[in-house]
Structure 1
Amino acid sequence: MTDQAMTVTHTANVVEDLAAVRQRTLALVSHLATEDLERQIAPIMSPLVWDLGHIAAYEDLWLAHRHAGMELLRPDLAALYDAFETPRAVRGDLEILGYDDAVAYLDEVRARTLAALEITGPDPVLHEMVLQHELQHTETMRQAMAIAGLLAPGEPTLPPLTTPEGWLHVAAGTHALGASDAVFSYDNERPRHAVDVDAFAIALRPVTNATWLHFVEGGGYVRREWWSSEGWAWKEEYDITHHASVAAGDPDAPACHTSYFEAEALARWCGARLPTEAEWEKASARLDGVGHVWEWTASTFGGYPGFEAFPYREYSEVFFGDRYHVLRGGSWATHPRVATATFRNWDLPERRQIFAGVRLARDLGEPT
């Protein structure tokens, strides 16, 4: 096969993937009324049409403008659909595109992307980044839809777990943490590096709704000793109790919509703790129930030794520090293309809109 034929085949694959992801995005909201698409559901979430406009602007910026050298299609919209220029809390007050105009913008940008592909061919990093960016936003859109009760019939898909309760014992040893150079990964997953991990035990499955309700019945939200100072202050200020989905869901399904503060308190109630992300990644290939809910780890979000921001520091570097905690594994709403074993999600410890649960860990030597 000639190099030209190989390039054409690769380009054809990218075109097919772009089309499939876009079809998935539009199908996600096809059952919604325009009014629901255009309103802001909650201050911490964007109007759904903002996400559509942002997806278009991001694709135009990276695939038409920066990769192919074209002028931006709508420079007047650049700041409006920049996530840092327009925080979520104000997006509902802005003059954003309505649904029909947002879809038209998506279509116009896609035509430019395809035209550029014919000339430049695909970039293995930028085109994959744009595909995964859209897939990540469809999960964020589902979060907003869940808050408003707008998920499509049959969602969320959190079936009962079939794995019995138990613990996996993992021997001490060195683990290569992070993504290899042979696969697409984000800057915060690199460079891959060796870490020493002490022996530990990790639960075979995530915590279920039934276990969470036992925590509630045992005084989980009224007994101070299981909570961190910051978590207790948050719980008291906002009068927090368990999320409604815990009581409404199947008892044997993974508990969802749990904050880091709650996950940490429940772990203490169990006489356990949250795993570090190195422990989670080391054990991930042997765990059951991965991919139902994001799983909180004890690790805060920071760069690995030798970290270099690429292709832009706003993807992850600006979030580094002690405020954000890392989640691993993916949820029912995460596309498998995104939910790799090394992918690092992160959020603030009080956030509950994400599809997050918890998997427990213990030091070996403690009773299991």
Structure 2
Amino acid sequence: MASALATRYSQVRARTLALAAPLSPEDAQLQSMPDASPAKWHLAHTTWFFSRFVLGDAASAMPAGWDYLFNSYYVGAGERHARAERGLVSRPTLAEVLDWRRRIDDRLLERLERDDVDEAALDVLLLGTHHEEQHQELLLTDIKHAFWCNPLQPACFDAASAPDCAPPSMDAQSGTGADWLVRDEAIDWIGAAPWPTAGSGFAYDNESPRHRVLVPAHAIAARPVSNAEYAAFVADGGYATPALWLSDGWEHAQRRGWQRPLYWHADGTREFTLAGWRERDPDAPVRHVSFYEADAFARWAGARLPTEAEWETAACRLAGAGRCWEWTSSAYAPYPGFRPLPGTLGEYNGKFMSGQQVLRGGSCATPPGHARATYRNFFAPPSRWQFSGLRLAKDPD
């Protein structure tokens, strides 16, 4: 197990560095809004996780003040620097953070080589690699927003390597040959077995326990809503029709001046990507819409958003999953019998089960192999900077 984990750890850590490689030290310092973090902070925080929770380093074993700077929201681990002020931390430098990553990697890999990591720490190490993969996606979404906020709106990657420029697959464009997947009422199973358990694959604690649900009769769209379909909503005055919107969604849209998805150009044909401005692909799934926008579009289309149970029980038949995170109508809440991880790591998911909506699927920025049918992503309803789109559902006629 230790050998396999050492390989996975090295691969994940190397991928984070590869994603950050195009960034200058100035780029890596940017924080464009409180919800986003600088790339340098992502590089440091993921290292802090392994230092603190796998190697067992105390604050005094880290460079002075770094435990305070690079903790995120683990109250049990001590005081933390304010999230909205991470972009103000010009020191340590990017070079110092990268050097720290190398030193932590060397120590951890050396201990794995000596088989000097107990079983509990190996479990945390595996969790840490999945945690870092989450931050790989956040690094991309955060730098995209930062570059879009720059008046020059520069490109971070060339089109061939930018994850949001890849052409949609054929199944994402045309579905499975049917517009809707119809299902009768049924009792089904969703969720994952609690991790870690013998023989079970990795899953976050919020995906467990596996449990039975009553899924009413419904139909779910074979593919996500496309750019062309969402453009029709925009052209039909969707952003100017209050009857389509939830009350707080309408307030957000009016106060923030929403008229189209985030990163769509006012010219109606282009969108901002990690490769800069590109012609918008009409067949690609619409991305960077909030829960409120997704809900309003569904109402305009005479449909609704699926529940997470409807989404998960149909996941093996859905086309286009993985091109964008898909909003569901389900509030982020604990499953019956939910038990968070013990200790400080129990803060990872459970304490956010208030005021959030569940998204399912995965996105073009999600690391390969990271997402799964039971994965429960979650964001606040106004969030738009993630690669979030939607899929429709409807009740029987």
Do both proteins adopt the same fold according to a TM-score greater than 0.5, normalized to the shorter chain? yes
RMSD across aligned C-alpha pairs, in angstroms?
1.9
Residues 88-126 of structure 1 show CA distances to partners (whole Å, capped at 9, x for unaligned) of 311112354211001011111112212332212565531
Aligned counterparts, 1:1-368, within 5 A? 10-65=1-56, 72-74=61-63, 76-84=65-73, 85-94=80-89, 96-117=91-112, 118=114, 119-120=116-117, 123=121, 125-147=123-145, 148=147, 149-154=154-159, 155=162, 156-160=164-168, 161-164=172-175, 166-181=179-194, 182-243=200-261, 245-246=263-264, 247-248=269-270, 249-311=280-342, 312-321=345-354, 323-365=355-397
Task: Tell me the secondary structure at the aligned position of residue 364 of structure 2.
Answer: coil
CA contact (8 A) 2:262 2:289 kept: no
Q: CA deviation at 1:185?
A: 1.0
Q: CA deviation at 1:233?
A: 0.4
2 CA distance for matches of 1:176 and 1:243? 34
Q: CA deviation at 1:75?
A: 6.4
2 CA distance for matches of 1:298 and 1:56? 35
1 CA distance for matches of 2:258 and 2:182? 34
CA contact (8 A) 1:326 1:347 kept: yes
* Uncovered stretches (5+) of structure 2, i.e. residues with no partner: 74-79, 148-153, 195-199, 271-279
* Uncovered stretches (5+) of structure 1, i.e. residues with no partner: 1-9
Pair 1:135–1:215, CA change in 2 (3 A): same
CA contact (8 A) 2:22 2:156 kept: no
Percent of aligned pairs with the same amino acid: 36
Residues 38-94 of structure 1 show CA distances to partners (whole Å, capped at 9, x for unaligned) of 23233321111011110110111111008xx99744463112111122343111123
Q: CA deviation at 1:150?
A: 4.5
TM-score by length of 2: 0.84
TM-score by length of 1: 0.91
Q: CA deviation at 1:317?
A: 1.4
- The residue type paired with residue 359 of structure 1 is R
CA contact (8 A) 1:65 1:71 kept: no
Equivalent residue, structure 1, for 2:277: none
2 CA distance for matches of 1:92 and 1:266? 35
CA contact (8 A) 2:192 2:210 kept: yes
- What is the number of residues matched between the two proteins? 353
Q: CA deviation at 1:306?
A: 1.0
Q: CA deviation at 1:257?
A: 0.4
CA contact (8 A) 2:190 2:211 kept: yes
